[in-house]
A and B are shown apart, each in its own frame.
Chain A
Amino acid sequence: MVEQRRPDDGAAVFPGPDGASAFPGPGDVSAFPGFPGPDGVSASPELDGAAARRGPEGGSGDSLWIEPTPAEPAPSWGEEQAVRALLHRAVTGVQPAADALARIQRAVPARRAHRRRVRVGALAAALVSAVAVPTLSSMGAFQLSDGSTSTGPVPALSSTSPGTGSAVPPSSESVAPVPAPGQGQPGSTSYGGGSASSSSAPPSANPTGSAPPSAAGSPTGVPDCGRGDLADGGTTALAPDQTGRVSGTIDVLNSSGHPCVLVQPGSVYAADSSGSPIQVVAHVVNDPAGSLLPNPAAIPALPRVMPAGSRYQLPWAWVPDQSCPTAPASPRASASPAATAAPASPGPAATGAASSSPPPTSPSPTQLPSTTITLSHRPLYAGSPVGTFAVTNTCPAGRLYVDPPLVGQ
């Protein structure tokens, strides 16, 4: 239908001259309908009506409106009515679109379905993640090799080695997983070279052990490396450089006499002599340990099968903070007596093996107190640490950088 506006719409808002007498203020009635319009519209009946309403006050109301009222009194009833009428008049021509209801009627079920889909999708996503995350983590996000997902969890429960003590609880230290190789997918294709030559170990009644491990097939039949299978292969370190950085490698040896599958590369952790944790981070190309460690992207993936007698190496570098004096009093690195098997080298023994040579030069007054940094490697996240090493007389603030494991020589 058409909004047919009557010419007397505006005038009808106010009951007329008798109604004007009820307005509290003289200027109120001239509020909106009677604003001075252009000359061309002076013939409009509304303006006539407004002028009639204005009546005896005439045009005197204008000056009242210009004056701002600081106290902001409540708007008068007449003005409110005027605004009300004005607002309603202004939108009388606004009509709904012809298809509005049909559109809404179509859209409401669609929106409901959409909401339902979103809810169901969120629920499904939550379910999937609830299932997938434990599965993935049990598969080992830090796994060196692929495909060995059916090997089950790390034998953490069965790896309680008697008598080792594993003195430093991991919770008091900063434990970081050994970084995965940055190059491509972990696979067994990189297996070869020196490691292949070392696979001449006797198969030791393991029929699959004689299979060339370089084959990409899954090493079914080869047992997982247990904690007792891996031993300390000796830890080496270079002398500290000018800025006190120390680098070296932790070697882990398959001492079991048979090939085994390395399910997890394990973790690296570090602590200072008071037991406070030291941050362990994965080495990247441009970090402060840059020149000391090989580029992690260039390190090939470790083969999954460790032949008997083979070893892998974990490159590490200790970098004191910039706040430490740049020419420290020759922090000395001393290898722990780690040539023996793992149970023989717990953490405290290594710390005790720190060299007793005193710092030769007097430290500067601003030098931080020197301490001993102990780093250790647990090959399978469990058991006693195998590659324990101490950096003595170094600045206590710093970071330990580690690389993905290399095939040992």
Chain B
Amino acid sequence: MTDLAVVHAVAVARPVPVRRGVAEPEMTTSATDTVAGASVDLLTTTYQAHYRALLRLAALLLDDLSSCEDVVQEAFIRVHAARRRVREPEKILAYLRQTVVNLSRSTLRRRILGLRLLPKPMPDMASAEEGAYDALERDQLKTALQSLQRRQREVLVLRYYADMTEAQVAELLGISVGAVKAYGSRGLAALRVLMESGNG
């Protein structure tokens, strides 16, 4: 979590860099009342550390928020229900990311197959606080990301949102580092073209 938070803060230079430290106090209080056991403690810790970032990762891979919640929650459940994985806390984030990516992929595939024809659009949650320009930019990015190739989108999101190295992305996606580089550069070029053409 720390690397993510640091890079996040550096890259975006938020006024409040350590957001997660003070974030979601209501979550922690509501969570502690059902704590029962070490693994649940680990679950709560992991949740506080990674849930939001993973949710946003899924939000960049998917296009509706309810699917994102489903995907990330399912990833948490799967990873934490497997004792073998819980035994290695340092790898939990990697497991979670991989599961989120895989579940997002299968969610999109299901949607392509027509089981879910009408995804609910991402709710415009922050529209009250942000300007019309931000909303426009966000929508444009969402559209552009969705029109990228799947691999390109995954590489871009993992490289530049999750701030993983090329080697980490390669391992998570099960492709070579060279393929990650190629997907990344082509994805960047395609994204650039899409953003400049002002796709709507």
Q: Which residues of A contact B (CB under 8 A)?
A: 1-7, 9, 12-13, 31-32, 35-38, 40-41, 44, 46-47, 62, 65-66, 68-69, 72-75, 79-81, 83-108, 111-112, 115
Task: Given contact pairs A32-B192, A75-B188, enumerate 12 new A-B contacts (beta carbons under 8 Å).
Answer: A7-B131, A37-B198, A44-B132, A72-B185, A80-B160, A87-B141, A87-B156, A93-B125, A102-B34, A105-B34, A105-B35, A105-B43
Check if A94 sits within 8 Å of B137, measured CB to CB. no
Which residues of B line the A interface, CB within 8 A?
8, 11-15, 22-27, 30-31, 34-35, 39-40, 43-44, 47, 51-52, 55-56, 59-60, 65, 68-69, 72-73, 76-78, 80-81, 83, 122, 124-127, 129-134, 136-138, 141-142, 156-157, 159-161, 163, 181-182, 184-186, 188-189, 191-193, 195-196, 198
Give A100 to B50 CA distance when docked, in angstroms: 13
Query: Could you tell me the distance between the alpha carbons of A211 and B195 in the complex, rounded to whole angstroms?
Result: 95
23 contacts between A and B (CB under 8 A): A1-B23, A7-B131, A9-B14, A12-B12, A13-B12, A37-B198, A38-B136, A74-B181, A81-B11, A83-B156, A84-B160, A89-B137, A89-B138, A91-B56, A91-B161, A94-B52, A94-B125, A96-B51, A100-B47, A100-B73, A101-B27, A103-B73, A104-B43
B interface: dominant SS: helix
Q: Judging by beta carbons under 8 Å apart, are A104 and B47 in contact?
A: yes
Q: Are A69 and B189 in contact (CB under 8 A)?
A: yes
Report if A2-B129 is in contact (Cβ < 8 Å); known contacts: A32-B192, A35-B195, A75-B184.
yes
- Chain A residues lying within 8 Å of B131, measured Cβ to Cβ, are 7, 41, 44
Taking A32-B192, A37-B136, A65-B193 as contacts, is the C-beta distance between A90 and B141 under 8 angstroms? yes
**Which of chain B's residues have a CB closer than 8 A to the CB of A65?**
192-193, 196
Minimum Cβ distance to chain B for residue A82 (Å) = 9
A3-B129, A35-B195, A115-B81 known; A74 vs B44 contact (CB < 8 Å): no
Contacts of A73 in B (CB 8 A): 185
Of all chain A residues, the one with the shortest Cβ separation from B54 is A96
- Chain A hits for B24, CB < 8 A: 1, 96
Question: Are A101 and B44 in touch, CB under 8 angstroms?
Answer: yes
Contact present for A85 and B186 (CB under 8 Å): no
Contact present for A5 and B130 (CB under 8 Å): yes
Partner of B13, one of A12, A44, A99: A12
Docked-complex contact A89 and B12, CB < 8 angstroms: yes
Known: A88-B12, A97-B69. A79 touches B195 (CB 8 A): no
Asked if A101 meets B30 with Cβ closer than 8 Å, knowing A72-B185, A94-B56, the reply is yes
B141 touches A86 (CB 8 A): yes
Is B77 touching A84 in the complex (CB atoms < 8 A)?
no
Ranked nearest first, the 4 interchain pairs of A and B with the lowest CB-CB distance are A93-B126, A91-B56, A44-B133, A111-B81
Nearest CB in chain B to that of A15: its residue = B13
**Chain A residue contacts of B125, Cβ below 8 A:** 93-95
Tell me, in angstroms, the Cα distance from A84 to B132 when the chains sit together: 21
Say whether B133 contacts A72, CB under 8 Å: no
- A108 touching B39, Cβ below 8 Å: yes
- Whether A102 touches B31, Cβ cut-off 8 Å, given contacts A6-B15, A81-B11, A96-B24, is yes
Partner of A13, one of B11, B25, B40, B161: B11
Tell me how far the C-beta of B78 lies from the nearest C-beta in chain A, rounded to whole angstroms.
7
Distance between Cα atoms of A41 and B137 in the complex (Å): 10
Per the bound structure, the CA–CA distance linking A6 and B52 in Å amounts to 20
CB distance from B133 to the nearest CB of A (A): 4
Q: A88-B11, A107-B73 are in contact. Are A94 and B129 (CB under 8 A)?
A: no
Smallest distance from the beta carbon of A404 to chain B beta carbons, Å? 48
Cα A32 to Cα B15 with chains together (Å): 21
Q: Which of B8, B12, B132 has the most A CB atoms < 10 Å from its CB? A: B12
| Residue from A91, A92, A105 having most chain B Cβ neighbours under 10 A | A91
**Would you call A87 and B157 a contact (CB within 8 A)?**
yes
Residues of B within 8 A of A68 (CB): 189
Q: How close is B167's CB to chain A, nearest CB, in angstroms?
A: 15
CB-defined contacts of B142 to chain A, threshold 8 Å: 90
- CA distance in complex: A69, B193 (Å): 12
User: Are the C-beta atoms of B189 and A86 separated by less than 8 Å?
Assistant: no
CB distance from A52 to the nearest CB of B (A): 16
Q: Distance in Å from the Cβ of A304 to the closest Cβ of chain B? A: 54
Given contacts A73-B185, A84-B160, contact A31 B31 (CB under 8 A): no
Given the known inter-chain contacts A95-B52, A106-B34, please indicate yes or no for A3 contacting B126, CB distance below 8 A: yes
Q: Are A35 and B132 in contact (CB under 8 A)?
A: no
Q: Please judge, given known A-B contacts A36-B198, A40-B132, A75-B184, whether A84 and B11 are in contact too, CB under 8 Å.
A: yes
Residues in chain A near residue B56, CB distance under 8 A: 91, 94
B51 x A101 contact (CB < 8 A):
yes
CA distance A98 to B24 in the complex (A): 9
A118 to chain B, nearest CB (A): 12
